[in-house]
Structure 1
Amino acid sequence: MTDRLHLPAGRNGAVAGRAGFLPAADHGRPPHPDDLALAVAGRRLLTGADGRFPRIGELPGTLDWVPVGTLDGVPAWAAEVADDTALNGRWRGWRGLAAELPATWADLAGRALAVVTWRRTHRWCGACRAELTDVPGETARRCPACGLTTFLPLSVAVLVAITRPGPAGGPGELLLVRHAYGPTELWALVAGFVEAGESLEAAAHREVAEEVGLTIGRPTYVDSQPWAMSGPGTLLAGFTATVSDLAAEPEVDPRELTEARWFPVDALPAELPPAYSLSRWLVDAVAGGGPR
């Protein structure tokens, strides 16, 4: 828990300030010119010259705005834009936004991407093929013919920072891996999606066994993060765990990983995940507090 494994100061501030963003499916009124506007084109969002999101009044009145939440009490709306050349500004991916903006802004951007993508890909009933309609006050769509209701899906993935005590009383060690896909140059953590019918802890045990052939003790939950890079509606849950056999060496699954290696926590490689990611928060927390 976070009282046993302290997160970096910057992350603690982000947690405390996260109440500034609240998801919402209904603002109880139409968009106001001073409300926040999140225009979405594919997987990119529009920002102004200051790097922040524009206001409703700054964009064309023909866009179909849907509520996505509030930021510091200001209602925020999202709309899909078919042609990004029709709007002036800078179109940016979520990774760039998360690297520069506060965590609350990144969370809002991720929700806007999720809602817009889900609405575009869930127009028709999967049971009877009728066109779906919005459910007032909820992020859901319902079939007027057969009553099937579809909610915005949420996919959960676990990250596991695996540790072991260092040899001869030296610094503890952290297991880092290189994935066979995505940013392959980075040293990251064992990770994977939770399957239906599986607990978070069971998923952590399974992913560690599958990817590096190790067994771990009971995982300790540390923190979570909405993660728009893995697709709409992805939530990461981070854990630390100590390897059960202290002498065991990892055996990688070549379909998932290219390499796995123990590193002393005081001599970690430079090629680590970005500072805004849960993976990096876990790495930094272990490096700062030692293995738990």
Structure 2
Amino acid sequence: MTVIPPPATHPIDTSKAHPARVYDWYLGGEDNYPVDVELGQQIVSLEPQAKYYAQHNRWFMQRATRHLVGEAGIRQFLDIGAGIPTEPNLHRIAQSVAPESRVVYVDNDPTVLAHAETLLRGTPEGATEFLQADAREPDKILEQAEGVLDFSRPVAVSLNALLHFISDEDGAYDVVEKLVAALAPGSHLVLSQISSDFDPVRTRQAVEMYKAGGVTLVPRARGEVERFFEGLELLDPGIGWLPDWHPELGVDEVRNGTPVSMYAGVARKS
């Protein structure tokens, strides 16, 4: 694996929480700092199933990847907001089925960069790369990724548990529009998003907790999530609750039946 160098390297900021590191703590990882743990613990005190939600999001990524590399025949993946590597990573799943698969991970947290080179080992037939970039700069991401991915051929873009950290004012819908516009027909968009439909009161409390920790959190209603897929063909079963997206594709998932207040969907560009 090679790490695509960023235009400028930024030091790790341990003065405020970062979503990738909080997520790592949810999943039982150790690549986080006290400020991340503090925010994570606050969220768990509000929603005891927060760690379970994070695990379900990983399971959704795995199921979606199995479908895309299998039935859909996708061999190129762009995973934006990839987070700190946690096995099995997207490239492990894709390359276990199709060793020639090419995967580019993107994240803006230097902590992710620090671990990427040692953890993201791919097959010699394919490619597994990491670039440090902000999701709100899709043009820069596409420019750097085109050294690895051929955008004249289908690419699956994953935006899992990412867009709820980008406000409308910061261009969440513009980001998706620019990414999709650059994709060839046959490409796919994969995303999951925290919902404001399930428990509005507790969701507002979570937003305030994240805000106090210096993190933007933007839960969205179903109609707002549907906007991300405008112009695309949603795959069955459409937009639905995270655990309900093709559970038959799950491997080693241990579910307890708790509702997960996140929407998920996968769509194809015609």
Q: Shorter-chain TM-score: what band?
A: under 0.3
User: Which structure: greater strand fraction?
Assistant: 1
Q: What is the TM-score with the length of structure 1 in the denominator?
A: 0.22
